[in-house]
């Protein structure tokens, strides 16, 4: 292995400063530390909605719960089907399973790693109640084709935007696309409070239903225990919201830096024999870059893990890609159409990406250009050595 003793230095994550400290003290000084006793959550919801061009936002305990809540608001339940990408983090599938519906994996595109509209269209049945595109690594799925599919079939879209804070599709922000979108604020995400999530909602009725369901069925200001619908406690606390307000203030500049740095790093990685960086649909006018993703076609599982381990030893926050959701034990729940091998036959691209993808955490893209140049040199040396 080349440069076995070298450690590359990247910016830390999460990043924080006096803004987060001031927010936490502000929340601490309130009479109440939950959303019904303070103002941080409501202020964050207004600010997050405005930043993403949505009429409404609702903060939640985490991104997985945000997806579950969105599906419930959309009327998805036991016996229904939801089309999900085969290549995604398992929460996209688990949220469907947790409400008793069946996730139906569709293949993804080999360039962007996002849901393939043609594959999704072939899986729509009378039982399909939602189609869930994931904006993989901050790269928008093909929303033009997916919006047409939604109109043609009458099946609504639910955007899994856990990677796409601040991203834009043809100049439109996530909340301007007219469909419900779910975000995550888990520790590694582009904005974080350790955990947390949010929904962007396109109209007053969906916001009202989401609010009721995330607050045990109780309307705002309720003093009579008037549980108007089923639900659970998915409320975000005031401390998390205060931190996220500060994080939102950094988002635009960090996205700008990552856009510039990825253009540089992508060119360097693409020059390495056997390395294929994630492609870009140019209609995605602003890419948030949650991950810097590359494929190494033909690499074995052992070599891929060895490469990731060697990068981690050098201080690089590197990870293997997600396996297809149907290749995980957690997928085997409920009336899933077909077994893993049958699903794999319909998802050849997801099968390939799930076995040859490596990703680097987005804090790599906040590093200076000389550090990225050295990273590319180290990456190339490790690929050759393996």
Give residue-wise pLDDT tens across range 121-155.
Answer: 999 999 999 999 999 999 999 999 999 999 999 99
Distance CA 347, CA 87 (A): 9
Predicted confidence (pLDDT) per residue in 268-322, tens digit: 999 999 999 999 999 999 999 999 999 999 999 999 999 999 999 999 999 999 9
Per the listing, tokens 């870009």 go with 280
**Among 328, 308, 303, which residue's Cα sits nearest to residue 379?**
308
* CA separation, residue 217 to residues 77, 228, 232 (Å): 17, 5, 7
**Among 208, 222, 164, which residue's Cα sits nearest to residue 189?**
164
* CA separation, residue 352 to residues 109, 121, 300, 307 (Å): 11, 21, 11, 17
Predicted confidence (pLDDT) per residue in 206-265, tens digit: 999 999 999 999 999 999 999 999 999 999 999 999 999 999 999 999 999 999 999 999
Instruction: Provide the strand spans (E) within the chain.
Output: 56-60, 81-85, 102-106, 128-131, 158-160, 168-169, 172-173, 180-184, 197-201, 276-277, 291-295, 318-320, 357-361
User: What's residue 57's pLDDT?
Assistant: 98
**Among 90, 103, 120, which residue's Cα sits nearest to residue 354?**
90
User: What's residue 2's pLDDT?
Assistant: 45
Q: Is 294 within 8 Å of 373 (Cβ atoms)?
A: no
Q: Which residues pair with 76 in a beta bridge?
A: none
pTM: 0.96
Q: Within the chain, what is the greatest distance between any pair of CA atoms?
A: 68
Q: Is 148 a catalytic residue?
A: no
Query: What average pLDDT score do residues 192-196 get?
Result: 98
Q: Is the peptide bond before 350 cis (omega within 30 degrees of 0)?
A: no
The catalytically annotated residue of 163, 189, 245, 295 is 189
* CA separation, residue 161 to residues 38, 105, 288, 338 (Å): 27, 18, 10, 27
């Amino acid at each position: 292995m080349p440069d076995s003793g070298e450690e590359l230095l990247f910016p830390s994550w999460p990043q924080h400063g006096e803004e987060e400290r001031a927010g936490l003290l502000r929340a601490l000084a309130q009479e109440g530390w939950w959303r019904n006793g303070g103002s941080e959550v409501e202020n964050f919801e207004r600010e997050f909605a405005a930043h993403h061009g949505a009429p409404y936002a609702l903060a939640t305990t985490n991104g997985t719960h945000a997806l579950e809540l969105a599906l419930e608001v959309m009327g998805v339940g036991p016996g229904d089907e939801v089309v999900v990408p085969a290549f995604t983090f398992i929460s996209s599938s688990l949220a469907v399973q947790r409400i008793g519906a069946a996730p139906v994996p569709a293949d993804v595109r080999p360039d962007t790693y996002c849901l393939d509209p043609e594959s999704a269209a072939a899986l729509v049945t009378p039982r399909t109640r939602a189609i869930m595109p994931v904006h993989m690594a901050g790269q928008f799925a093909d929303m033009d084709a997916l919006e047409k599919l939604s109109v043609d079939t009458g099946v609504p879209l639910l955007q899994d935007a856990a990677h796409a804070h601040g991203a834009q599709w043809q100049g439109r922000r996530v909340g301007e696309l007219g469909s419900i979108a779910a975000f995550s604020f888990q520790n590694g995400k582009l904005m974080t409070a350790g955990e947390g999530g949010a929904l962007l909602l396109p109209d007053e009725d969906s916001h009202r239903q989401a609010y009721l369901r995330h607050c045990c069925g109780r309307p705002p200001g309720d003093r009579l225990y008037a549980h108007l619908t089923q639900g659970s406690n998915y409320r975000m606390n005031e401390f998390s919201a205060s931190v996220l307000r500060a994080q939102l203030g950094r988002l635009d500049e960090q996205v700008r830096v990552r856009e510039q740095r990825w253009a540089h790093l992508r060119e360097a990685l693409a020059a390495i024999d056997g390395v294929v960086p994630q492609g870009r649909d140019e209609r995605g006018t602003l890419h948030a870059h949650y991950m810097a993703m590359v494929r190494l076609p033909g690499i074995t599982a052992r070599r891929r893990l060895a490469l990731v381990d060697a990068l981690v030893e050098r201080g690089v926050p590197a990870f293997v890609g997600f396996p297809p959701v149907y290749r995980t034990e957690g997928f085997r729940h409920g009336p899933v159409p077909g077994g893993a091998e049958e699903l794999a036959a319909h998802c050849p691209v997801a099968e390939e990406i799930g076995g040859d993808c490596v990703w680097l955490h987005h804090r790599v893209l906040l590093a200076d250009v000389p550090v990225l140049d050295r990273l590319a040199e180290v990456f190339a040396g490790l690929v050759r050595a393996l």
